Amino acid sequence: MAAAFKTSGSFCSTQQHQWLQSTRDQILHGSSHSNVKQCKSKKIKKPFPLCVKATSSKVELDFNDPSWKQKFQEDWEKRFNLPSITDIYDLKPRPTTFSLKKNRTPTGDGNVDMWNGYVNNDDRALLKVIKYSSPTSAGAECIDPDCSWVEQWVHRAGPRKEIYYEPEEVKAAIVTCGGLCPGLNDVIRQIVFTLETYGVKNIVGIPFGYRGFFEKGLKEIPLSRHLVENINLNGGSFLGVSRGGAKTSEIVDSIQARRIDMLFVLGGNGTHAGANAIHEECRKRKLKVSVVAVPKTIDNDILLMDKTFGFDTAVEEAQRAINSAYIEARSAYHGIGLVKLMGRSSGFIAMHASLSSGQVDVCLIPEVPFTLDGEFGVLRHLEHLLKTKGFCVVCVAEAAGQDLLQRSGATDASGNVIFSDIGVHMQQKIKMHFKDIGVPADVKYIDPTYMVRACRANASDAILCTVLGQNAVHGAFAGFSGITSCICNTHYVYLPITEVVKAPKRVNPNSRMWHRCLTSTGQPDFH
């Protein structure tokens, strides 16, 4: 019998409890042994690892069973196993053409490979490094009621000694999907550089996201080191982006017709879901194609990884808006600076920009409900701030407080919900409130919208993009497909896409980072 998961109750708020429950679900979700379908086919060598569906039911673990940890880890190993073209083909690898040393001189011990910094397929990185002694510890992610330490290893990224493609015969394609994000050009550039280092001559860009695969009149763009040399100096995407219109079978028809061997897909969670669908369809058709994703999104809302590229830059730009709001508010009589920031379903940009600026008195994110009116509402706190310090700054994430607004019901081309405007709503509510109570208030509203993402990557994102782009190419040459190249716990790793698209990552209200944000703003609970 599966043990029920209990958080040791009395110290746990409802919000914390829900969070603990959902993080546990994320850890355990989709990995029951009984759900590993053996997809047998005469032509294929092994069962498809991807037949473990991301949507399958939860792990049945009996925590009274002394071997539960071992069972968990065996299951984990299966879930995080990297899908490879060698799962379907009996392929012989060849020595890599990627060498860091151009003029190699043997040491005498015969081991020239050591100098090339190759990564072994058995190398792993630890995904989690904190041992929580209780489910009520800040940010605790627990598997069992005692919050036991369980090793969770993931595969290390980087160049392998042996590869599964002849570089001279490879056609590689790059596509950028979803919204814009700082660093797209840096990644495109590094993918091209690395492919050329392996000896690939046929590299193309697919214009305007997945649309470029099927929209007539959109031609692929031949890419070379020479062409992409300087593209990182500008924001945007050299290839263009788009939302919506992804039809997996048409995309794979197009991949087949164009004879693409490697596809590099840069995008957020929607793009990743699309990339995995393409990978699965390629497998179904027995195509020798490696599909490798690179996680891009200013929202930082993809599971398991430390951060997505573009996030740092967006935060830096966002805190400029906050600093302007601060200057305006500080210089006005009873000034209130209000800034609305992007973030589709998560408050990471708002939280980090509030932390980095240090000038925010109230930070509102979708993960933490709040009320505007009443004794414990935001408006009453703003009154207090005007009275005590004379001005204040509020930062609100675009997805926050949607329960206070009429839902628009609208969606974008990819099916993402379009939010009602919490920024404009708050601006009006604040103005009305202070008018009603007869207290002067000078509200300055700033909505930087696309300014936080339509810019070039900052230094830290540029480095992240460089590493992720290079590793994406190493992953494809190593034969992996249906994987994403990312950073986990400060180490560069590959994860199966199925594991990162289970749900959007959201701010944990029980995390140290949110607590730090609260310490910095000094805001009370607003409900």
Ligand X SMILES: Nc1ncnc2c1ncn2[C@@H]1O[C@H](COP(=O)(O)OP(=O)(O)OP(=O)(O)O)[C@@H](O)[C@H]1O
Ligand Y SMILES: O=P(O)(O)OC[C@H]1O[C@](O)(CO)[C@@H](O)[C@@H]1O
- Residues of this chain that bind ligand X (CB under 6 A): 177-179, 209-210, 243-246, 267-271, 273-274, 277, 297, 299, 344, 414, 416
From ligand Y, Mg ion, ligand X, none, which one binds at residue 453 (CB under 5 to 8 Å depending on kind)? ligand Y
Q: Answer yes or no: is 77 a known binding residue.
A: no
What DSSP line would sit under 64-113, residue for residue? Answer: TSTTHHHHHHHHHHHHTSPPBGGGTS----EE-S--S-SS----SSS-GG
- 412 touching ligand Y, by CB under 6 A: yes
- 274 touching Mg ion, by CB under 5 A: no
Task: Mark the segment that binds ligand Y (CB under 6 A) among 95-103, 194-202, 294-302, 465-473.
Answer: 294-302
Instruction: Considering only residues 249 through 288, tell me which ones interact with ligand Y, judged by CB under 6 A.
Output: 268
- 429 touching ligand Y, by CB under 6 A: no
Backbone angles phi, psi at 338, to 5 degrees: -125, 125
Sign of the four-CA dihedral 106, 108, 110, 111: negative
Q: Which is nearer to ligand Y, 213 or 311 (CB)?
A: 311
Q: Kind of pairing, strands 171-176 and 202-206?
A: parallel
From Mg ion, ligand Y, ligand X, none, which one binds at residue 183 (CB under 5 to 8 Å depending on kind)? none
Beta carbon of residue 311, minimum distance to ligand Y (angstroms, whole number): 10
Q: Answer yes or no: is 244 a known binding residue.
A: yes
Beta carbon of residue 127, minimum distance to ligand X (angstroms, whole number): 22
Q: Answer yes or no: is 450 a known binding residue.
A: yes
Concerning whether 299 is annotated as a catalytic residue, the answer is yes
Strand ranges for 159-261 from DSSP E: 162-163, 171-176, 202-206, 221-222
Q: CA 321, CA 316: separation in Å to the nearest integer?
A: 9
Task: Mark the segment that binds ligand Y (CB under 6 A) among 338-346, 401-409, 492-500, 510-518.
Answer: 338-346
- Report CA-CA distances (Å) from 370 to 95, 207, 208, 340, 373: 59, 42, 39, 16, 9
Q: Give the relative orientation of helices 459-477 and 184-198 as an angle to the nearest 10 degrees.
A: 40
Could you tell me the two tokens for 523? Answer: 């805001």
- 243 touching ligand Y, by CB under 6 A: yes
Catalytic residue among 87, 186, 261, 299: 299
Could you tell me the two tokens for 9? Answer: 């109750």
CA angle 427/428/432 to nearest 5° reads 120
- 179 touching ligand Y, by CB under 6 A: yes
By beta carbon distance, the residue nearest Mg ion is 268
Sign of the four-CA dihedral 100, 497, 501, 220: positive
- 209 touching Mg ion, by CB under 5 A: no
Q: Which is nearer to ligand X, 165 or 238 (CB)?
A: 238
What DSSP line would sit under 352-365, residue for residue? Answer: HHHHHH---SEEE-
- Residue linked to tokens 């700054």: 393
Beta carbon of residue 314, minimum distance to ligand Y (angstroms, whole number): 8
- Residue from 268, 366, 423, 448 in contact with Mg ion (CB under 5 A): 268
Q: Answer yes or no: is 94 a known binding residue.
A: no
Query: By the 8 A CB rule, do 365 and 397 touch?
Result: yes
- Residue from 87, 196, 281, 299 in contact with ligand Y (CB under 6 A): 299
Could you tell me the two tokens for 309? Answer: 């590229």
By beta carbon distance, the residue nearest ligand Y is 342
Q: Total residues at the site for ligand Y (CB under 6 A)?
A: 12
Give the residue numbers of the binding site for ATP.
179, 243-244, 268-271
Residues lying near ligand Y in the complex (CB under 6 A) are found at 179, 243, 268, 297-299, 342-344, 398, 412, 453
Residues lying near Mg ion in the complex (CB under 5 A) are found at 268-270
> Would you name the residues annotated as active-site residues?
299
Give the residue numbers of the binding site for Mg(2+).
269
Give the residue numbers of the binding site for substrate.
297-299, 342-344, 398, 450-453
